[in-house]
Structure 1
Amino acid sequence: MAEHYSSFQRGGTRWLLQRVTAVFLIGVLAFHFFLLHFVNHASEITFMGTQARMSQFGYFATMWLFLVTATFHGVNGVYNALINQGLEGTRKNAVKWLLVLASLLLIAQGTRVAIAMTNLV
């Protein structure tokens, strides 16, 4: 029988956060699809409608948390996949910090766009 191998340590923080973020993402993605694909059809989505939705604190906070959670979940998954492929030493450290920097830049830009979509600016 094949031996189970994962860079995640069972019961570790990154292992737990990967599962928690997956559950959150499934819920928010379902909300997103329901609201923007079933309640409002694609042809009905306008900039003003987006601005109105993003101006509501609850919707804004949910979408911002979606951005942060999706970024963490994706980057954490990529990082662990690379570790599973044998990434070690200096390269592992360089990749880790490159992914951290890319994540921070993505979250900063996403936050800028989200704020611009409100009618507060």
Structure 2
Amino acid sequence: MAEHYSSFTKGGRLWLWQRITAAFLVVVLAFHFFLLHFVYHADEVTFALSQARMETLSYYSLMILFLFAATFHGVNGVYNALINQGLTGTKRQVVKWTLVAASVVLLTQGVRTANAWAGIGFF
């Protein structure tokens, strides 16, 4: 029988956060799908309507949380999949810090975009 291998430490926090962010993403994606496909139809979605939603603190906060959860979930998943495939040593460190840098760029630009849509003038 094949031995089970996972890069996650048993009982570790990264394993737990991967599952928490997955559950959060499923709920937020369901909300997004319902809102933008059943409440509003494609011909009703405009930039002004999207901007109005982003100006609401609850919606803005949800989208910021979504951005951070999706970034963590995706980057952590890719990184651990590569480790599970045998990535070690210097290559592992290069991939790790490349993913960290890409995450910082993604989060910075995502927050800047959300702030612009919400009419927030900083960052």
TM-score, normalisation: structure 1: 0.96
Runs of 4+, deviation exceeding 2 Å: none
Question: 1:45 is matched by which residue type in structure 2?
Answer: V
Structure 2: how far apart are the matches of 1:13 and 1:49? 39
Q: Secondary structure at the match of 2:72?
A: helix
C-alpha RMSD of the superposition:
0.9
Q: Equivalent residues in 2 for 1:99-110 (5 A)? A: 99-110=99-110
TM-score of the superposition, structure 2-length normalised? Answer: 0.94
Taking the TM superposition and a 5 Å limit, the aligned residue runs for 1:1-121 are 1-121=1-121
- Separation in 2, partners of 1:113, 1:92: 31
Do 1:52 and 1:119's aligned partners in 2 also have CA atoms closer than 8 Å? no
Aligned residues: 121
Contact 1:54 1:117 in 2 (8 A): yes
Equivalent AA in structure 1 for residue 31 of structure 2: F
Aligned-partner Cα distance in 2 for 1:52–1:119 = 10
Which segments of 5 or more consecutive residues in structure 1 lack a partner in the other structure? none
Gaps of 5+ in 2: none
